[in-house]
Amino acid sequence: MSEIDFKCKNCGGDLSFSPGTQALKCPYCGTENENPDSAPEVHEELDFESAKAAFQNSEDTIEVQIEKCGACGAEVTLEPNITTAKCDFCGTGMVVSGKSHKAMKPQYLLPFSITKDMGKKSFRDWIAKRKFAPNALKRQARLSEPVHGIYYPHWTFDSQTESTYTGERGTHYTEQVTRTDSEGKEVTETVTKTRWRSVRGSVSRFFDDVLVAASTTLKKKLTSKLNDWEFSKMVSYDDKYLKGFKAESYSIELEEGFEEAKVEINSAIRSDIRRDIGGDEQRINRVDTAYNAITFKYILLPIWVVVYKFKNKYYQVLINASTGEIAGERPFSAAKIIGLILAILAVGGIGYLIYYLVSNGTI
């Protein structure tokens, strides 16, 4: 995404956004220039169907080019019409073969609050606490791993849902059952059984700000763990917040994003249905859901990213640059895991020996 230059009121130098200050900080003289747009604001939702229809004719768009890195797999957002570039995460050179395309402009973004130094410390502390990580990795983490600040694209969706269902309610009851044991004796036991009855009904729920990552650059299993966002601090999108940071464009289109949101929505609906059915157990045979009044926002969320290489494999660690929440992946040390298993087996073996000696009156 393109950047607009903002000048320092003191020396005229180009300004960069300073995380945690809601200000633009001059890298030359250190002066903090006030941000006039830092006051809380109302975040407008866009109508889903209207936005799809209007997008192709809208002037509120940008040209973007997305290329996938052959080394680490990241999808990198580039300026249009360039032929070569370096991956923002692992530094690998890329020959750009894709074409630029039209994309929506973000509506809002959540500014960085966690500084780069704080991000580095969080990464090193996180690695240091991985008990089963190889020792070589912990030594490597003490070196200067590159930490990248990225505004990562997300969709948020609202929808009023109305669901009808058919299913079964299971009610537990007990019976006395007599059987013959291995010694030929009759034994009476209490057995729990379930009585099933067909049911049907309906549930409704309003879903607010269901969050979906709109890119595959960062691994979904990690981005899905970053949930502690300070949405009340979001501001209208402005290029000035991008100074010193990278902004990714979406590669997951709006309709595809809503299909992903439906996975979370439908899971919650099924939980509602189970509560509505009641009883001791529930079976859901069929659900029909209408999604009404669908609205969305296109937002950018701040993440500090570390992509590191260990034994020819790339790993990602993500830091929520709003609250400091962290999610990451790491290699495991086979030797440490085997050592733990052997220790558990040794302790278990000693415990069994003591039990055997006590039960036989030896000790």
* Same domain as 359, residue 301: no
CA-based nearest residue to 277, from 203, 190, 339, 212: 203
Query: Structural domain of residue 222, as residue ranges?
Result: 40-57+106-162+207-279+287-332
Q: Please state, for a pLDDT cut of 70, what percent of the chain lies above it.
A: 69
Residue 259 is inside which H or E element, if any? helix 254-277
Torsion of CA 202, 203, 206, 209, to 10 degrees: -110
DSSP 336-356: HHHHHHHHHHHHHHHHHHHHH
Q: Would residue 168 count as lying in a domain? A: no
Q: Is residue 252 in some structural domain?
A: yes
Average pLDDT over residues 109-117: 92
Task: Assess whether 264 and 327 both reside in one domain.
Answer: yes
Same domain, 345 and 294: no
Whether 236 and 359 map to the same domain: the answer is no
The whole-model pTM stands at 0.75
Question: Are 240 and 300 contained in the same domain?
Answer: yes
Q: Is 150 contained in some domain?
A: yes
Q: Tokens 């809601």 appear where?
A: 22
Maximum distance among all alpha carbons in the chain? 98
Asked if the model's pLDDT at residue 36 lies above 50, the reply is no
Phi-psi region of 244 (alpha: psi -120 to 50; beta: other; left: phi over 0): left
pLDDT tier for residue 124 given thresholds of 50, 70 and 90: confident
Q: Are residues 110 and 236 in the same domain?
A: yes
- Using the structure block, give the residue that is written with the tokens 């079964």: 168
Residue 68 lies in a domain: no
Same domain assignment for residues 321 and 265: yes
Q: Is 142 inside any structural domain?
A: yes
Among 328, 211, 307, 219, which Cα is nearest to 261's? Answer: 211
Reported as a pLDDT band with limits 50, 70 and 90, residue 144 is low
211/355 same-domain check: no
Task: Judge whether 305 and 89 are in contact, CB under 8 Å.
Answer: yes
| Per-residue pLDDT reduced to its tens digit, 160-218 | 999 999 999 999 999 998 888 888 888 888 999 999 999 999 999 999 999 999 998 89
Q: Are residues 134 and 271 in the same domain?
A: yes
The total domain count for the chain is 2
Domain assignment present for 328: yes
Co-location of 128 and 255 in the same domain? yes
- Please indicate, yes or no, whether residues 249 and 361 belong to a single structural domain of this protein: no
Question: How high is the pLDDT of residue 1?
Answer: 47
Q: What percent of the chain has pLDDT over 90?
A: 39
